[in-house]
Chains A and B, each alone.
Chain A
């Protein structure tokens, strides 16, 4: 099977989607000037509470309940994060680190307490899929032009970008930068939760401790990789997914390249692209800088 056949691309979508969801949300956050190092933790929280939702409400709407619980939990974490970074001017990297620790500790503790003794692997209901697509990946395809339009063609999007580039400009245009950034942070949390929940209910139909395995960090890299453009981020996620798939196919054909080295390719690739292109002209200029520095 060729790597670039339509079938293999479609087969890659469920694996690229969690990172793409989180990356899309993160791009809006970054455009508003927030870098969310806690993305990994928010995805993991989304994943765990998707499990909780699905098991608490078995029946016809188990999957929906899972997505609802997962996104709500991740948004709650985003609220905490926004209170600190936006309203208390705390350093974003610090808060992100704390969010990751909190999520790892909370999901592991709760998982072991509530599901650890089951003695068998967890098998959950999952999204219905036709021709390789499910409701959420289709929704995501619709979300791409919508978010592009929102960010690049509306007044709110302009204000968001101003908040990320030069907050005083957004303020003088009558916008509250804090409100803009809070909104962006909540969207980011929602999308991260969706990504985590999708990993559980769309990609795998199970949960294991720390199952996000660095996907949140990969999503942060993807945003820069995709130059803050929704469609580029989605394409970059798909590209990395294909690379991953190529990696497994090479292994299966017995080509003796270390699997470990092959698995470093996405990160190495992102780093090379970043260092060749530089980020200066594309990156939001106030990315990561607390608001008070501008006052």
Chain B
């Protein structure tokens, strides 16, 4: 380089960022780079729309992948891919000989349908979505069942007669769970008022908190969320205004806010392990796998800390509804997408 100044400034900047980075020693180490050398073993890849540290939708898929790794001794890898990166990501995993590629979100379904026909040796699975092929299956996590029970609980316990739901983007998977929450609430108390608010951004915590405060100002005393990364904003608002919240996707009962009375949980581990086992055994079928409470993939976990505050009558009616859902007597409404 011809400019000492240039080199100096670059060095200074790099050193600066180095100092910042060294503030704690637990830095990134390439994970799996050594194991990627093994070939011929069973390989499973996961694609998520956002980083897997969201303690929610993406994190549960990552946990599912880890379960596949330990239970089936698979070699696993994961990547964030959204928008136009999706097809490329699906293809390059298939090209590298992965046996199973899981795309965690409805956004992966159409691209996977396109890619799957050219890679018959790889099986694809997407979470949500309706298109299937011999080597493309979809999971349909029946989270609506959990939301239905949450709606019942909220409606039976609400003192104000108003409950609310706060979402990020208004997309079908979110809208569908919100419909189920409302249906459950109306089933328990036809007069209940359900407020629905979307922030339009799953990362904006402040917006989620603001939206939650606005529904609380309209007398909501139970709030459920589908706010992804921004969920903490919902919980904080509930904590400040002393109302109850529900966790969603992951079990968020022990959130530090201490307001999560119950969680509607997706337990992806058994579903992921089961599909990976099918791939390994060569029994994979390209079908829609509707996984709900009957298989343990969906749970409604009441926070034990609040047991004293929940009337026995409410617990009983939820248990009855849960049994009805499991036996197929009660079919919770869901959107198809």
Contact = CB atoms under 8 A, between A and B. Distances in A.
Interface of A: 1, 8, 11, 15, 18, 52, 56, 73, 76, 80, 102, 106, 109-110, 112-123, 199, 203-211, 213, 244-245, 248-249, 251-254, 259-260, 263
B19 to A, nearest CB: 10
Interface stretch (B101-109, B134-142, B209-217, B315-323): B209-217
B196 A118 contact: no
Given A110-B20, A121-B252, A251 B198 contact: yes
B63 to A, nearest CB: 9
Contacts of A252: 164, 195-197, 214-215, 218
Interface string B198-220: 11110111110111011101100
Q: How would you classify the secondary structure of chain A's contact residues: helix, strand, loop or mixed?
A: helix
Given A248-B210, A259-B198, A118 B170 contact: no
Contacts of A76: 16
A248 B24 contact: no
Contacts of B38: none
B197 A251 contact: yes
B220 to A, nearest CB: 8
Nearest to A252: B195
B203 A208 contact: yes
A102 B9 CA distance: 14
B203 A248 contact: no
Contacts of A249: 214, 217-218
Contacts of B214: 245, 248-249, 252
Pairs of residues from A and B, 6 with the lowest C-beta to C-beta distance, nearest first:
A123-B256, A248-B214, A206-B232, A116-B53, A252-B195, A213-B204
B236 A206 contact: yes
Contacts of B200: 259-260, 263
B233 A204 contact: yes
A151 B56 CA distance: 48
Given A119-B55, A120-B55, A121-B232, A248 B197 contact: yes
A164 B159 CA distance: 58
A204 B236 contact: yes
Contacts, number: 120
Contacts of A56: 23
B218 A1 contact: yes
23 contacts: A52-B23, A112-B53, A113-B21, A116-B53, A118-B53, A119-B55, A120-B55, A121-B235, A121-B252, A123-B235, A203-B209, A204-B209, A206-B236, A208-B232, A213-B201, A213-B203, A213-B204, A248-B214, A249-B217, A252-B215, A253-B218, A259-B199, A260-B200
Nearest to B255: A121
A1 B213 CA distance: 12
A70 B164 CA distance: 34
A112 B197 CA distance: 30
Nearest to A11: B213
Interface in B212-243: 213-215, 217-218, 229-233, 235-236
Contacts of B196: 251-252, 254
Interface in B287-331: none
Nearest to B237: A204
